Amino acid sequence: MTTILLVDDDKSLVRALTIGLGAHGYVVEVATNGVDAITAASKVLPDLLLVDLGLPRLSGIEVITAVRGWSTVPIIVLSARPQEAVKVAALDAGADDYLTKPFGINELLARIRAALRRHIPAGEESVVVAGDLRIDLAARRVERGGVLVHLTPKEWGALAVLVRNQGRLVTQQMLLEQVWGPGYAGESEYLRTLFSRLRKKLERDPASPVHLVTEPGVGYRFEA
């Protein structure tokens, strides 16, 4: 099932799109302000975002910028602002497409299908192999030695961020904000506990990890 995160504070539009997209087989998650949108994007790990620009707490542009800091998920802007400068700003922030309100459900569905086609990696491009680990980012599936490993949503969220930034240091603050949400940037103990569990599940020797590497006091890095 393809999951769409709908970010809009217009209750009537949210209701209509939830019904319309659901009727076409999509699972719709909703966030009605910018802060909740960023949190939901890191927890739900949707396949696509639909983002309004005029949001409470944080703007749509800020949401797009934050999500683009760690994810390549397709983002389609839904906005009543037709001005070219606004569209350019949204696309420069990292949006993939821009649909001006009002719009028809069929056009939106076509835009969604096109965005998903462009984003889905071909074959092995979505799969990372590291030792006896096989991590399928598209399917959100991890195998160790050919055996499926069950990860909690937060464990998968942290692993996905690291794998997408393979070989690069990801700071504690970025991981905490993306996995737990804004307001958790100082909770480094959460990460120590989470990575202890992840290493037990994924590393041959959790005490001497080769894939989930810690940079003490700074962050974490995934090495293949």
Contact call for residues 212 and 165 (beta carbons, < 8 A): no
Q: Rounded to 5 degrees, what are φ and ψ at 34?
A: -65, -40
Residue 120: per-residue pLDDT:
55
**Contacts of residue 129, Cβ cutoff 8 Å, sequence gap at least 6:** 135, 224
Residue 182: per-residue pLDDT:
64
CA distance 64 to 72: 10
Q: Hey, what domains does the chain have and what are their CATH numbers?
A: 3-119 (3.40.50.2300), 125-222 (1.10.10.10)
Residue 21: per-residue pLDDT:
96
Residues of the chain with pLDDT under 70: 120-125, 182-183, 185
CA distance 149 to 180: 22
